[in-house]
Structure 1
Amino acid sequence: MAHIPDGVLSLPVLITGAVVTVATVAVATRRMDYDRIPQAAVLAAAFFVASLVTVPVGPSSVHLVLNGLMGVLLGWAAVPAVLIALLMQAMFFGYGGLMVLGVNTANIALPALLCGALIAPRLHASEGRATLMWGALAGGLAVALTAVMVSLSLLLSGPEYLPAGKVVAVTYLPLMVAEAAVTAAALSFMQRVAPELLLAGRV
């Protein structure tokens, strides 16, 4: 449930999400490494496809988000990559929506940036099990922060969304484990075959 649909959130939350996303994209376009655009396109496509494969968990469903992986590999470029992928999903498949695009982008991209700032520098200096550890932390932390932001977005829109916020928190627990495993495996593989890719995610 990383994609909050249109018609759910209050106007103040929608405006705040839009402002935060516009400001973050503006900063990202000035600070990102344009040599990483092809890499950003590949990860945006992976994010786009992964989000279409949902797994039922109780009354809700979850899907891989990959924002931890995007954050440590892309840094600031993760922001426009997430925005473009979410826009395409909204237009082609009706996931989320255009009105809530700013909130959904912020909920996914801001945790990615935090992971890029905190974990990407340590990945460059790591190897073996250390890479697995930092990768798992990036994947799990990014999803946990996204769950918190999605829940807050719902709760700030009205107390009637408290049950939905609790459902989000519970359903994201198995997703954290899956994201940690996928991100750790992906980064460990890259560390062995193309370690230079781990230099790009510094924010």
Structure 2
Amino acid sequence: MAHIPDGILSAPVLIGGATVAIAGVAMGLRSLNDRAIPRAAILSAAFFTASLISVPVGPSSVHLLLSGLMGIMLGYAIFPAVAVALLLQALLFGFGGLTTLGVNLVNIALPGFLLALLIGPIMRTAQSAAMRTTLSALIGGLSVMGTGGLVALSLALSAPEYTPVASILIATYLPLAIAEAFVTAAVVTFLSRVQPDALELSAGAAS
């Protein structure tokens, strides 16, 4: 349930989410250059496709987010990349909503961006392949749990009645976090062998 639909969240949560989302997209657009645009487009398309496949887990459903991987490879550009995909999903398939677009963008993109910002530099300079794999898995898995926490927080702040559901919702993200950890680690390990430059941020992408 990373795609929160319209009509659930309170106005303050919607406004707060939209404000952070606009700031993130603005910084992301500033960071885009000729090298970063194709990469952002490919990852946006991958997120768009992967997140259309939902698996029921408990009272909710989960899907691959790829936010950790996108944070590693895109930096600030994760925000416009995810925004485009979420907008198309809302318009074409009714996933999420237009009023909740900002909140959904923040919930999905922010954890991946922050974790990649904190751990990414250590991962890139790691001399050991095992350490690089472990750190990338950590970014992928924790990004999902961060999204689960933000989704739960968005619901809990909107209405006290959502608090029990929000608590249960976090637990449904644990299997996805494990899957995301493996996926992120596998992609990073592969790219580090065949195209290490793909894991380097373009100038301005994280500044």
* 3-state secondary structure, aligned to 1:7: coil
Deviation string 1:64-122 (CA, Å, 9 cap, x unpaired) is 11100000011111110000000010000000010100000011111121022112212
1:153 aligns with 2:163: no
Determine the C-alpha separation between the residues in 2 that align with 1:112 and 1:58.
24
Determine the C-alpha separation between the residues in 2 that align with 1:59 and 1:30.
39
1:120 equivalent in structure 2: 120
Determine the C-alpha separation between the residues in 1 that align with 2:122 and 2:182.
18
Determine the C-alpha separation between the residues in 1 that align with 2:24 and 2:74.
14
Alignment of structure 1 residues 19-168 onto 2, 5 Å: 19-126=19-126, 127-168=128-169
List structure 1 segments (4+ residues) > 4 angstroms apart after TM superposition.
none
Unaligned 5+ segments in structure 2 are: none
* 3-state secondary structure, aligned to 2:61: strand
Determine the C-alpha separation between the residues in 2 that align with 1:173 and 1:19.
29
Deviation at 1:28, TM superposition (A): 2.0
What is the root-mean-square deviation in Å for CA atoms of aligned residues? 1.3
2:17 equivalent in structure 1: 17
Unaligned 5+ segments in structure 1 are: none
Deviation at 1:34, TM superposition (A): 4.2
TM-score (norm 1): 0.96
Determine the C-alpha separation between the residues in 1 that align with 2:43 and 2:31.
19
Deviation string 1:124-175 (CA, Å, 9 cap, x unpaired) is 2124211210111110111111111111100000100012202211100111
Determine the C-alpha separation between the residues in 2 that align with 1:124 and 1:18.
32
Identity %: 54
Deviation at 1:33, TM superposition (A): 4.2
Determine the C-alpha separation between the residues in 2 that align with 1:147 and 1:165.
9
Determine the C-alpha separation between the residues in 1 that align with 2:13 and 2:171.
23
Contact 2:112 2:140 in 1 (8 A): no
Deviation at 1:180, TM superposition (A): 0.5
Determine the C-alpha separation between the residues in 1 that align with 2:79 and 2:198.
18
Determine the C-alpha separation between the residues in 1 that align with 2:91 and 2:101.
11
Determine the C-alpha separation between the residues in 2 that align with 1:89 and 1:116.
25
Contact 1:3 1:96 in 2 (8 A): yes
* 3-state secondary structure, aligned to 1:91: helix
Q: How many residues are treated as equivalent by the alignment?
A: 203
